[in-house]
Amino acid sequence: MKKFIATLGLSALVLGAFAQDNTKTVGGSGPMITLDKEVHDYGTIDQGANGTCEFKVTNTGDQPLIISNCKGSCGCTVPKCETAPIAPGATSIITVKYDSNRVGPINKSVTISSNAVNAPEKIVRIKGEIKAVDTPAPTSPVKENTMAPTSN
């Protein structure tokens, strides 16, 4: 029994020595990224409508947040983010432009890479539906007969 207790105590000591220090993510030490939303829903929009939306980024940490890259899941989704450091408590805007000339459902993502200790890679999504706009068929103007009738 004494050997068992000694082994158990030694195991706890060894495991405690190798335990990971989570004070950075739990205590808030370092830059931390927080977004106003995880998903932007366009709803149903017309083909060719404004496909721009914004995500508000806040640094809730205690050190500057640096967004190093924003990448869309395809060429039809183009994000724009500032790479200047975001001070603790400050905000920045990530603008996402979707090519709304493509008809059908929208389900795309944007990966935000930063030095945040809580989420070094954060993924946000855009969704919705683009409906085709009925465009009238081109018509040619009707020309009146301007020639005088000929008599035989």
| Tens of each residue's pLDDT in the chain, 152 residues | 455 544 444 444 333 433 333 333 444 589 999 999 999 999 999 999 999 999 999 999 999 999 999 999 999 999 999 999 999 999 999 999 999 999 999 999 999 999 999 999 999 999 999 999 886 656 655 555 555 555 55
Token reading at 118: 């809580």
Report if residue 23 sits inside a domain.
no
Report if residue 141 sits inside a domain.
no
d(Cα 97, Cα 128) in Å, to the nearest integer?
13
The pTM assigned to this predicted structure is 0.70
d(Cα 103, Cα 27) in Å, to the nearest integer?
46
Task: Single out the residue of 41, 33, 79, 31 nearest to residue 57, CA to CA.
Answer: 33
Report if residue 142 sits inside a domain.
no
CA atoms lying within 13 Å on the CB side of residue 39: 8
Tally of domains within the chain: 1
* Domain ranges, residue 115: 30-131
The one-letter amino acid at 9: G
CATH number at residue 84: 2.60.40.10
Contacts (Cβ under 8 Å, ≥6 apart) of 84: 92
Report if residue 25 sits inside a domain.
no
Report if residue 63 sits inside a domain.
yes
